[in-house]
Structure 1
Amino acid sequence: MVSARTILGAIVGLAALTTAAPAPGPEPIAAPEPVAAPEPITPPLVGEPKEATPHTIEARRTWAGGVDMNQQCAWQYGDTFFATQPFWPYGDAYTWACATYGQAVYYSVDVGAYCRRRYGGNAYADPQGGGAYDWGCYFP
């Protein structure tokens, strides 16, 4: 038979186990440093700008004409080359490449060179709206 003293000792031992201090938890994560608000954008003043900016150059440009990507590939690499859009995102102005049949190699298209050759030395290329077929040539 088990004595009362043994039972009482077991109960006290269990109580000590259940009332022990909890194990330490993970270290708290520090709050991130506050980030300063971005500087506000000041709209330009109305009137003639003091110096040329990309926006004033664009506003004063003159349409020269369209771009023929196939023609540029042929001029740039030879008559067997053609323009294609092998890269994602399809339909983007900057995914054009030149290729030829039988090769899994793509070459860059120099759209600015097309404009200079087709319309004159100071013509330049601009993707206008950013779509694949939005390229155009302009005079400054």
Structure 2
Amino acid sequence: MEIFRELQSNSDGIMVIRYSYMQMIRFEDIVCVYTDRPYLVIVTKEKVKSHLLQFSIKQMIDILPGNFCICNQSTIVNVDYLTVWQKRKEEYWIRLITDHEFKVSRRCRNTLKGKWRFVYKLPEVEWVVTE
């Protein structure tokens, strides 16, 4: 897998650059971004393709539009692709359309839940609880 060392963004997406190779990734195609230290992995819906970047989560969240939310200290998710919100014992987990699962930190829980509910215009309800 190639490591991209430069990143440029515009209103439609991000351009990842590696020497003479450039690729445009549209924001609507990004499912999630997570750390695989020291890199960031961008997962897209197209064939669950991953891209390695040498950037921080903080740098990436500043570039991404409002439908992206931090899930925990090492993960950003696109709430448009969130399919399951689940409580397991005392922890909350989410699942995306790509079957990636991530634990939701306490600090990020309300923000993520609010953005997801806003996207689908859901009323305030009890969330699915499975043990």
Query: TM (normalized to structure 2)?
Result: 0.23
Give the number of the structure whose residues are more often helix, by fraction.
1
Query: TM (normalized to structure 1)?
Result: 0.22
Give the number of the structure whose residues are more often strand, by fraction.
2
